[in-house]
Homo-oligomer: A and B are copies of this chain.
């Protein structure tokens, strides 16, 4: 292969940088919506989303499946409890952990939140053709696998 004479680094073409920048942009876009509509920050949004999908799970599970630091999870949960969107109930078989459940209000918010999120995702992916979208997702799959980001089975 013909080595580019002393390979140069173009930041604009450097994939790790591009990934970061794109993710920041997407994130900022969405978090503005979460904040305006539900007064939720990203960590709180993720907790709601996780608990809404895995009712009765623990903070540890949230941390594992979102890859957030446990202190970030802890504080997000504290906020949500204070706002009476989720509640913590002592786990029967292990008194260290506490099971997380959406309250009535939490479920109501979750029900509004899900279709909105899915709509935004579709809007985002609408700039890709079918094959492009599949190709991109496929790449995402592989990269996640490479970094051990695939969920460790079960939820």
Q: Could you tell me if B114 and A128 are in contact, using CB atoms closer than 8 angstroms?
A: no
Q: Could you tell me if A114 and B27 are in contact, using CB atoms closer than 8 angstroms?
A: no
Copies in the complex: 2
With known contacts A7-B115, A11-B46, A140–B16 Cβ distance under 8 A: no
Q: Could you tell me if B14 and A20 are in contact, using CB atoms closer than 8 angstroms?
A: no
Q: Does A104 contact B (CB under 8 A)?
A: no
Q: Could you tell me if B15 and A121 are in contact, using CB atoms closer than 8 angstroms?
A: yes
Q: Could you tell me if A9 and B139 are in contact, using CB atoms closer than 8 angstroms?
A: no
Q: Which of B16, B19, B65 contacts A19 (CB 8 A)?
A: B19
Q: How far is the CA of A128 from the CA of B50 in the complex (A)?
A: 29
A25 vs chain B, min Cβ distance (A): 5
Q: Does A66 contact B (CB under 8 A)?
A: yes
Q: Could you tell me if A142 and B132 are in contact, using CB atoms closer than 8 angstroms?
A: yes
Q: Could you tell me if A11 and B66 are in contact, using CB atoms closer than 8 angstroms?
A: yes
CB under 8 Å from chain B, chain A span 87-132: 113-115, 117-118, 120-121, 124-125, 127-128, 131-132
Q: Could you tell me if A15 and B124 are in contact, using CB atoms closer than 8 angstroms?
A: yes
Chain B minimum-CB-distance residue to A143: B22
